[in-house]
Amino acid sequence: MAVTNLDGEYDLILYGLGVMGENFIRNFARNGYRVIGVNRTVAVTEKFAAQVAEEDIARQVGTAETLVEACQHLKSPGGAVLAMIKANDPVIEPWGGIDDLFFRGSIARYGEQEQKDVPPLVDLVPEGTVIIDAANSHPRSTRQRCAEFARRNILFIGTGVSGGSEGALKGPCIMPGGSKEAYAPVSQMLESAAAQVDGSCCTYIGDNEAGHFVKNVHNGIEYGIMQAIAEAYYALAHLLDLAPADIQPIFAEMTAGRHGGYLMEISTLILGMVDSESGKPMLDVILDRAGQKGTGKWTSQIAFDLGVPVPTVAAALQARIMSAYKPEREAAAQKLAGRLAGRFAAEDRERLIEATADALYGTMVAAYAQGFWLMREASLADPEDSNGSYDFTLQLDEIARIWKGGCIIRSQLLDPIREAHQEDPDLHNIMLAPQFSRTLEDEQFQTNWRWWVRTMAGLGLPRDAMGASLLFFDTYRTARLPANMIQAQRDCFGEHGFERVDKDGKGFHLSPAG
């Protein structure tokens, strides 16, 4: 069948027909917008065209071989082009395929050998078009693109999207950043396509790279919570000798309470899954090697540049990195004795279940605390500072609100987080808010969390996120840390100077006599 089947004007071109892209088109069409689907590999477009022709939204959706044909049918002014293709890591590759698409030109692939050159998008779009980068782009890349599009007088927004393929279809969380002028023409379209919880789960995030910055932080929090849930499952399985199906009701009870959220929901579901080929629990046949797409790494790097502690996120990232070394770990398991078998008492079963729940909740709070702290510091950063060159202001209570629907980290904790920021817009850390401090300073809660981490350490079991989060809590609440020794050491070997507790200034030095 012919791929180009356009008729009249369209509101949106969506470039990138992966599962999320295809579902996003269906979402926009269901909300009354006319959309053109385009993909670099034309066979993918052709397949999508055949599928959508049988659906009730067929009259709302067109397809084109290239952006050349698609842009000729784009509404002007007020039309938009949304790119959903893989972003590059600017640390490794300063220029990527999405930049070629926008500024240098791309290709359309028809087969093994045949391809067609396509001019850059900036030369194709009608005047007044809004270009939307909906990839998982690094904020640094988005900042550069904002500047380049502004130089060309073209409207552009860097937009984070969270929710996976299901969210794209039913309503994701959408985090657009850039100029308000660029957001205005597409605000109604994006807000109608987003999840609807206490209003649209899409709002204008802020200037420049704000949208992609917030999406990166979202993914960092996601890393931390995912790792913590995995550690909770692992502890119950190994210490209580429980099958995944036996752990499922324990998780279900937590999910019904204050732990509730999307990640807990899907984890509870996974625990009950059975492999159709072997008949074994699905978790028992899945290899223990987790992948990553880079956003957890970026969040950690950004936090280090801004000088914000994110140990839960960093520990989760390190755990994924370590998981990739499967052969090395198997070899080490044969040579390095670790776990002290038989040391866990059967009578501690109920205590372990209770402590696991408290340790998991504490870690969830810590992950959100680190993410919101990072966003706060980015808002306060000096745009001229090489370590924190961000130029936007984030409304943290609104971010908590839109994260309540569509996105991967939607959870019960977001209502009290939003409430805490509304009550105190200058809140430094959500752990200080009464919504969380009452629980965190409870003696039994802390005893359980500490006992869980101590038990895992004593038996040599994973505790990456749970342990790092407890350390984060303890370090944050410690008025005087051993950093005085570090100041002295630095001055001793490098004459860096130090500060005193009883005088102002930084230029003090150790005496020659030490």
Question: Tell me: the pLDDT tens digits for 125-146?
Answer: 999 999 999 999 999 999 999 9
What distances in angstroms separate CA 25 from CA 20, 48, 76, 252, one per listed residue? 9, 11, 20, 34
Dmax (CA) of the chain: 87
Q: Could you report the per-residue pLDDT of 379-423, keeping only the tens digit for each?
A: 998 777 656 578 899 999 999 999 999 999 999 999 999 999 999
Residue 450 one-letter amino acid: R
Domains contained in the chain, CATH given: 12-204 (3.40.50.720), 216-476 (1.10.1040.10), 480-514 (1.20.5.320)
Q: Could you report the per-residue pLDDT of 213-259, keeping only the tens digit for each?
A: 999 999 999 999 999 999 999 999 999 999 999 999 999 999 999 99
Confidence of residue 512 (pLDDT cuts 50, 70, 90): low
Q: What phi, psi does 508 have (nearest 5°)?
A: -85, 150
pLDDT for the residue numbered 384: 73
Q: Is the pTM of this model over 0.85?
A: yes
Q: Which residues are catalytic?
A: 215, 222
**In 154-261, which residue ranges form alpha helices assigned H by DSSP?**
164-170, 180-183, 187-193, 210-239, 244-255
Beta strands in 59-182 (DSSP E): 61-63, 80-83, 106-109, 115-118, 130-133, 155-162, 173-178
* Bridge partners, 35 (sequence order): 12, 61
pLDDT for the residue numbered 192: 97
What distances in angstroms separate CA 467 from CA 75, 150, 258, 344, 370, one per listed residue? 54, 45, 20, 19, 15
